[in-house]
Structure 1
């Protein structure tokens, strides 16, 4: 599995000059997406709806609204 491309503008283009707040979205060679975000598993685990679950190897990550909205144009329809 490899990173094929970034989805949306780079953190620097979104205003992160310190490199400390760098949520990011990447498309992978298998068609999946990888997200760099803040781990919020502990804070949100008990907030999941009854029909949602998280495996032990999965984490709940948070990215800013701006990150996702600005990536929208680069997200494929299929």
Structure 2
């Protein structure tokens, strides 16, 4: 069953993602060259969500 998209484009051209908040669990596992800003969170989405969203994302 498909409902509203979990990844959608905002009017300013940015994208919003609905997923499971996992910052505390995943931050210690970030690669050494990755960083998270104080106002950012790590969100997990399923592979299926990203694959399905691909058709709706612009190429440029």
TM-score relative to the length of structure 2: 0.88
For residue 57 of structure 1, the aligned residue among 35, 39, 42 is: 39
Structure 1 residue runs of 4 or more that deviate by more than 3 Å after TM superposition? none
Higher strand share goes to which structure?
Answer: 1
The residue that corresponds to 1:31 in the other structure is 13
SS in 2 for 1:34: strand
TM-score relative to the length of structure 1: 0.70
**Backbone CA RMSD of aligned residues:** 1.8
The residue that corresponds to 1:13 in the other structure is 2
Structure 2 unmatched runs, 5+: none
Structure 1 unmatched runs, 5+: 1-11, 15-21
The residue that corresponds to 2:22 in the other structure is 40
Q: Provide the aligned length of Structure 1 versus Structure 2.
A: 60
1:24–1:37: 8 Å Cα contact kept in structure 2?
yes
